[in-house]
Amino acid sequence: MTNRIKDDAPLAASHRDAGAVPAAAPARVTLADIARAAGVSRMTVSNALNNRTGVSREMRKTIQHVAKDLGYVTNWAAKKLSDTRSNAESGIVGVIAELHTPYMAEIAGAISSAVRDCHRDMLVYSLPEPGRDLPGNVLDLLLDSVDGVISVLPRESIDLPALIQARVPVVAVDPLAIDDAVPWVAGDNYQGAQLAVRHLIALGHREIAFLAGEDDRYSARERLRAFRDTMAEAGLEVRADRIIDAKFLQELGRSGTENLLQSQTPPTAIFAANDVSALGAMTAIQAAGLSVPHDISLIGFDDLPLARQMLPGLTTIRQPYPEIGRAAVRLLFEIKAMGGQTPPPGKHILLPVWLIERGSTARLQPSKPR
């Protein structure tokens, strides 16, 4: 098998009488309030109120009494959706994501499609700012309403092991780091970077630069590792000044490429760790009066919609978005069927990726012997 391919409406505004002053609504009692009053963790409160295992009968009664005394009101709308189904694939799937980047939005969309195909319901929370921690009230809502959580976060914004300890089914997609305690799904970053570098080498390129991603992310480290390994296997030098810290960002992809072009021996090809930084690279190359691919070949990673919109179209590595979404949802249902128990350590799903050839890569011209 080859891994190569050629190529809401806005919400209605509510109406209010002019000058009317709404009465202040009483503050909603949260799981954190109950936890403080009962002297236990928020996870223990969630388990007790949702009849999960791991809480003694005495503790469950104590927490229920505290909740009643505080005036706690269960999220009955979510409960109704969850309780109308009884099989292992029932209930609401919670998705926590950063939707500020095109890649994360693609992944979240794939999960949404997979959940919809299973005729399930989904509750999505997008962090308001990159790198922000998940607010406590949102975690309360998730623990009170959903039967499992899929995390699509590039950073540690939520304590996934703690959720697992509370027997909440959890799956991470393209996680920040590999943790055997957290089941995860991802495209094969190492294989994808291998395909990209081998493609450039097959076209005759020997002087290849790399626009690296954020070094604290597993995907970025795997792509860099594969770049180094594949260059070494071909007997090619990996120069430190040709590995640019672009952090997956367009502006750093552009400035990094500008620096590469100003060197005494510019590269003949650039591999960008994602399509967004590749867009910055293409902008810099064309602004310098050079041509892609006749002067410099360029390849990205992810196959976002913008890769097809660039001129020329960007050769890139396609992530298996639909398969990632389906695998994450399927794994979540498997964990739920086990009563929220964590699968054996090391449970993960690594999916193959593909090289998509478009117009941004070409064979090295004889006039460019570098």
Question: Over the stretch 168-187, which tens digit does the pLDDT of each residue have?
Answer: 788 999 988 777 778 899 99
> What is the widest separation between alpha-carbon atoms in the chain?
82
**Averaged pLDDT of the chain:** 83
Residue 167 has a pLDDT of 74
**Average pLDDT, integer, range 84-108:** 73
Question: Which comes out higher in pLDDT, residue 285 or 54?
Answer: 285
Which of 63-67, 160-164, 214-218 is least confident?
Answer: 160-164
Residue 257 has a pLDDT of 99
DSSP output for 116-176: HHTT-EEEEEE-SSTTPPPPHHHHHHHHHH-SEEEEE-SS--S-HHHHHHTT--EEEES-S
pLDDT at 228 over 70: yes
**Average pLDDT, integer, range 261-278:** 97
User: pLDDT tens-digit profile of 13-33?
Assistant: 333 333 344 444 455 677 888
Q: How confident is the model at residue 156 (pLDDT cuts 50, 70, 90)?
A: low
How far apart are alpha carbons 184 and 178 in whole angstroms?
Answer: 8
Residue 346 has a pLDDT of 59
Which of 64-73, 182-191, 312-321, 326-335 is least confident?
Answer: 64-73
Residue 42 has a pLDDT of 80
Residue 206 has a pLDDT of 97
Residue 82 has a pLDDT of 46
- Three-class DSSP category at 89: coil
Residue 130 has a pLDDT of 61
User: Is 3.40.50.2300 the CATH number for 75-187+323-351?
Assistant: yes
Q: Do domains 28-73 and 75-187+323-351 have the same CATH topology?
A: no
Question: Which comes out higher in pLDDT, residue 49 or 196?
Answer: 196
Tokens found for residue 122: 């989904």
Paired sense of beta strands 316-318 and 354-356, if any? antiparallel
pLDDT at 210 over 90: yes
CATH for 189-319?
3.40.50.2300
Residue 136 has a pLDDT of 67
Q: Which of these CATH numbers, 1.10.10.10, 3.40.50.300, 1.10.730.10, 1.10.260.40, describes 28-73?
A: 1.10.260.40
Please report, for residues 38, 79, 284, 321, the alpha-carbon distance to residue 166 in angstroms, rounded to integers and kept in the order given. Answer: 17, 19, 49, 29
Calculate Rg over the CA atoms of the chain.
25
Query: Residue ranges per domain, the chain?
Result: 28-73, 75-187+323-351, 189-319
Give the residue from 221, 361, 247, 267 showing the smallest Cα distance to 257.
267
Residue 335 has a pLDDT of 86
Amino acid code (one letter) for 338: M
Q: In what order do the strands lie in the sheet with 184-187?
A: 121-126, 92-97, 148-152, 170-173, 184-187, 348-351
**Average pLDDT, integer, range 109-125:** 90
> Rounded to 5 degrees, what are φ and ψ at 40?
-130, 180
